Each structure stands twice: as C-alpha cells, then as structure tokens.
Amino acid sequence: MTPETTTVTSIRLAAPDGSPLPAARAGQYVTLRIPEGGDPAPVRSYSLSAASAEDGYRISVKHELHGVVSGYLTTTVRPGAAVEVAAPRGDFILKEGTGPVLLISAGIGVTPVLAMLHELAASHSGREVWWIHGARSPREHALRAEAHALLVSLSYGREYVFYSAASPGECDGEHIRAGRLGKDQLITLGVPAEADAYVCGPARFMANITDALTAAGIDSSAIHSELFGALSSINPGLTRSAGAPPHAPAGPRATGPMVTFARSGVSTPFPDGEGSLLELAEACDVPVRWSCRTGVCHTCVTPVLSGDIEYTSSPLDAPAGGQALICCARPESDVVLDM
C-alpha cells in the first residue's frame, strides 16, 4: 500500500499463491467484493492505474466520504488481506496506431490514462503523447511524479497540468498552469486534429472536453471516454431530472437471489414473483437505459460481472457473452451487474 496524497492510496493486488493474474489491458478496470464490508458484501469497480505480468495489478483508490469500500481499502486493509477480484474488463483501452495520443483526465480519473501512459512508455512509443490533467492543487494531484517521469522517458511527450485552487508559487514549472482545465484551456493548447483522445473524469468535465475536442477538429470516433460511476439514464419519453441517489427498494426485504449494482453501490435480494432486473434497478433509483423493454433494441444491454440470468421472454437477438438484456431478464443465482 502506498499513500499518494492525503486521500488517495495505491494498492497492489496479487494472487494468494503467486500464480499469474489474467492479462489486463491498459484502461481496463477490476471489480472488488469486500467480505468484511458487511452483509451483503459491498462491491465496487476501480480502474487499474498499472498492470504488469511481473508486479500484478495496481489500483489507486480515493477515500470518498461515506464510502464503505474506499474507506476500508484506504484505512483498514493491511498487506496480505484477502479480497475477491473479478478479471479485468472494459472497452476503454488504448488503440494501436502511429498518430498523436491525447490522455486527458481530471482528479482520480487519472488512473486509467496513467495505465495507458505506462503502456506507451514500456513500448518506447514514438507517438506524440499529450498528457493533459486537471487537479485542485499539487497536494491533491495523485501520481504526478510518476506520470512526469514516464513522459520524460518518451521521445515526444508533452505535459500540461492545470491547478484550479493552487496557492501562489505552486504553479512554477513550464508545464504547470493556474486555472481549471476546461474547453477554452484545451482549445488554447492547439491539440492536433488527427489525434486519438482518451478522456476520464466527472461527467460534466468529460462533456466539456468532448465539446472542445470536437471544436478542435477531432472526429467523434477518435474520442474515447470512461465515466466513474453509473452511466447516465436513457429513458425515452421521460423528462430528465435530478433523481434520488441509488438505494435499496422500499418495502419488506425480498428473499430472491442477491442482485448487486456494482457502479451504484447497491445490493438487494431480487423480489419474489414477477419482474425484471430493469424494474428492480428502477425501484432502487439506479440509472438505467432502456427503450423497447421487450428484448429487441439492446439499449439496456448490461455486463454481468458474475452470476447467471434467465430470460422471461426470448430476446430477438441474444447479446454477446457476459452481457444481459435486463429488460427481460431475471437472476438465476446471485448476480453482479456493471451498473
């Protein structure tokens, strides 16, 4: 365990018997279940900040207020402790190519793009790499020395760091600037229009950065992003409004298989009787995506991190392996969904 800032701690994960871990791609995440965290055991997903065959996985966890899992990982867990970890997954990965790469992040969103930077440095990439990061101050800038060293090792590395609340004198350095990283700041940098961009951070930050990249002439297909937390809802015909935070459903506790919404941090038994996983998510105010609700459109397709599901009506086309159409699915066993 390595403290990175007062609120961020890096943790190495390895197999208890020392056997090799499943291969991981830079940008992917792992899902952890913490048996000591309560009943049911809480589940959370964390992007890998580094992964290698020699050193195993590394996650860098920010201690969130009232965060059961982050609090346990940053203040309670000790070397040698056992946690349940699913194999790495996710499509936010570095694409092959020779053109410029933009790695853009804010706050703890630095973790997956840092793993990408490690991959580029390890391969001695000759690509032009732009590292653009926003933080409140140097004191809250996790893994900054590591990122800087990796960029120095690259032949064509560029570094731009923005501090939104730095004290006088804390913005010394050619690559450090005062102010919040946003659309105007990014356009001013003059990023190349032929670049592939990888963006991670809060939803509003990513929306602003995506607008800026589009304005800079970068094709939307070359802009890749990863959102921490649940995806936004897609609910046709419903006016978007600020909903309640995810929670256990109202009423008596059910007795069906345990359903865990990993990104939203909710675990609850599946209700007795009829119903779907989509309906349970709605009862928990978990952000959901749907359109047809009949297994046709695939808008509700959701990764199943563990467990088995069954369909109450057969989908028109089955989803890819490891995924489910939650609008017409029920759990056959305890399940963990990536939502």
Residue 108, phi then psi, degrees to nearest 5: -75, -5
Asked if 195 and 281 sit in the same domain, the reply is no
Q: Looking at residue 79, what is its pLDDT? A: 86
In a domain, 282, yes or no: yes
What domain range includes position 55? 2-85
Asked if 223 and 105 sit in the same domain, the reply is yes
Q: Looking at residue 239, what is its pLDDT? A: 43
In a domain, 239, yes or no: no
Question: What CATH number should be reported for the domain holding residue 277?
Answer: 3.10.20.30
Asked if 135 and 221 sit in the same domain, the reply is yes
Q: What is the pTM of this model?
A: 0.75
Burial (CB count within 10 angstroms: exposed 0-12, middle 13-18, buried 19+), residue 158? middle
Asked if 134 and 174 sit in the same domain, the reply is yes
Decide if pLDDT at 240 tops 50: no
pLDDT in tens, 71-122: 888 888 888 888 888 888 888 899 999 999 999 999 999 999 999 999 999 9
pLDDT in tens, 168-201: 777 777 788 888 898 888 888 999 999 999 999 8
Question: What CATH number should be reported for the domain holding residue 11?
Answer: 2.40.30.10
- Order of strands, sheet of 266-269, starting from the edge strand that comes earlier in the sequence: 266-269, 258-261, 335-337, 301-306, 323-325
Domain edge (last residue) among 207, 227, 247: 227
CB atoms within 10 A of CB 1: 13
In a domain, 76, yes or no: yes
In a domain, 242, yes or no: no
Domain edge (last residue) among 29, 55, 85: 85
How many domains in the chain?
3
Between 106 and 41, name the one with better pLDDT.
106
Q: Looking at residue 296, what is its pLDDT? A: 79
In a domain, 247, yes or no: no
Question: What CATH number should be reported for the domain holding residue 193?
Answer: 3.40.50.80
Whether the CB-CB separation of 104 and 206 falls below 8 Å is answered with no
Going by pLDDT thresholds of 50, 70 and 90, the confidence category of residue 37 is low
Between 299 and 159, name the one with better pLDDT.
159
Asked if 271 and 193 sit in the same domain, the reply is no
Mean pLDDT computed over 134-143: 92
In a domain, 94, yes or no: no
